[in-house]
Amino acid sequence: MFSAISRRFILITSLLAVLVVAGCAGREPEQRRAFILFLQTRVLGDTGATVPVMTARDREEFGPFADSYQVLFDFSRTLNDATNAYNDASNLLQNDFNSMKALQDNWQKLSALRQRLLQTGRRLASDYEKVQGIHSALNQPEDVRVVYDQAFAVLVTSPGDAFRRILVPWDKTLQASEDLGRFLSDNAGQLRITGMTIQLQDTALQPEWKRLQEKYQFEVQGLTPLIQALAATLAASPNRVDKNQSQDARTPAADNRRQDLPPDPGPISPVR
């Protein structure tokens, strides 16, 4: 008796599963149209606005396509976190390294800052590679794939590539800043800081000081256009995932007001 009921229960469950699958398959054209419309109007058609969050109703309407959108949204959060981290670093540079004396006194902070940004950059690069792999493995209907690829380029590939290009130059610029500060600290007894001017009492130190300055200027000159390119890319795409994280827009540019003061690479145009 028990085994007969069990077999009957298994049969009924299997039939229900088939009906559910058949029902989902029957809704596929409707789900596909809803997903395409969402991408066209809420992502591609609203450039510069927020990256929309799927509601419970959206998920129901998109069916299996909801997971494909979640891939885009999750990377947008990673990109948002990275942008905020680099903007915070830029603010720290402006506040704690705004003079030669400040650089001399605070240069050790740059090492910790570099490590934090390296971790942020590694996470971004890792997530970028993962999401590219997921994208390559997707098997989507042709009409979905065409629109989804456009959204993927806007939310992942373009900003991800632009951001990855600044990671090494940013690190090299911070390293050059750290080297300048270490020099000032190690040779504090052999130099005098007057405002923005460095006076070396030991002329034998002049070549090394000149080399360190030139190295820093070289790194900043390479970094600045990359930050400007990233800012332009982010500004041209939906890139805000949380309105509570919005910031005032700032112009990404190197501050070259004084050649004797290490210029700030400038903030990345923030994730708005």
Phi/psi region, residue 48 (left: phi>0; alpha: psi -120 to 50; beta: rest), is left
What is the pLDDT, as a whole number, of residue 47?
57
Under the phi-then-psi rule, with left for phi > 0, alpha for psi from -120 to 50, and beta for the rest, what region is 252?
Answer: beta
User: In the prediction, which pLDDT does 235 show?
Assistant: 82
Cα 86 to its chain centre, rounded Å, is 9
Number of folded domains that form the chain: 1
Biggest CA pair distance of the chain: 102
Phi-psi group of 50: left, alpha or beta (phi > 0 → left; psi -120 to 50 → alpha; rest → beta)? beta
pLDDT, position 196: 72
- Domain membership flag for residue 38: yes
Are 39 and 72 spatial neighbours (Cβ–Cβ below 8 Å)? Answer: no
In a domain, 2, yes or no: no
Range of the domain at 137: 23-245
Question: Would you state the pLDDT for residue 97?
Answer: 86
Query: Does some domain include residue 12?
Result: no
Instruction: Give 50's strand partners.
Output: 240
* CA 90 centroid distance within chain: 14
Q: Are 240 and 271 in contact (CB under 8 A)?
A: yes
Q: Rounded to an integer, what distance in angstroms lies between the CA atom of residue 111 and that of residue 165?
A: 21
Across-strand partners of 165? none
Tally: H helices and E strands in the chain: 8, 2
Residue 268 lies in a domain: no
**142: in domain:** yes
Tell me the C-alpha distance between 125 and 130, whole Å: 9
Strands (E), 143-265: 191-194, 197-200
Divide the 272 residues of the chain into consecutive groups of 10 and give the mean pLDDT of each group. 44 41 65 95 75 93 96 94 91 86 91 93 95 95 96 94 94 94 93 84 92 95 93 76 39 33 42 30
The DSSP-derived string for 131-164 is HHHHHHH----HHHHHHHHHHHIIIIIHHHHHHH
pLDDT at 241: 58
In a domain, 174, yes or no: yes
Using CA of residue 141, residue 25, residue 133, residue 36, what is the dihedral sign?
A: positive
CA distance 41 to 38: 5
- Locate 81 and state its tokens: 């976190």
Residue 17 domain-assigned?
no
Q: What's the whole-model pTM score? A: 0.75
